[in-house]
Amino acid sequence: MHELSVAHAVVSTVVDALPTPDTRVLQVRLRIGELSGLVPQALEFAYDVAAQGTPLEDAVLVIERSPIVIDCPSCGEQQIASAQDFRCPSCQQPCGNVVGGKEMEIVDITLDDVLVGGVAR
């Protein structure tokens, strides 16, 4: 249950990125890999708590899941693997060379531009 720590980190990173402290955030888009250990539902719940009283209070959280991708040295191809068995689905060789699936990234944020700097644009 580190989702609450992660949710606080999301809120503080977004707040630091705002052009002005009163900018309202409408949406936050995250990319969360299947190997990140994060449970999306738990993260959504924690986010609601962490966002209270911040410019993100009304922002929708969109979570995109990214699969585990391995770079197989035997057949030289990138493949989607299962979390229980890091084996190349093509050649069946065990492969620990994971190139995707660990993401925990804030992709973008959508801001209410009307309030940027307190001036309508």
Partner 1 sequence: MTTRIVDLRKGVLEKNDLLAQSLRAQFVRANTRVSNWVSSPGSGKTALLEALLTAALAQSVSAAALVGDCATDNDAKRLERSGAPVRQIVTESMCHLEADMIASYLDGWDLDTIDLLVIENVGNLVCPTAYDLGEDTRVALLSVTEGEDKPAKYPQLFHSADVVVITKTDIATAVEWDRLAAMAAIRAVNPTAPIIETSSRTGDGVLELLHMLLAPMPSNPSPQLQEAP
Cα distance between residue 7 and residue 77, in whole Å = 35
CB of 83 to partner 1, least distance (A): 5
Cα distance between residue 50 and residue 57, in whole Å = 9
Q: Are 10 and 106 in contact (CB under 8 A)?
A: yes
CB of 108 to partner 1, least distance (A): 5
Residue 94 has what DSSP assignment? B
CB of 55 to partner 1, least distance (A): 13
- Give the burial string for 52-68 (b: 16+ CB within 10 Å, else e): eeebbeebebeeeebeb
Q: Site for partner 1 (CB under 8 A): which residue of 6, 50, 56, 72?
A: 6
86-115 residues in contact with partner 1 (CB under 8 A) are: 86-87, 94-96, 98, 104-114
Taking CB under 8 A as the rule, does residue 60 contact partner 1? no
Q: Contact residues for partner 1 (CB under 8 A)?
A: 1-2, 5-6, 9-10, 12-14, 17, 26, 30, 35-38, 83-87, 94-96, 98, 104-114, 116, 121
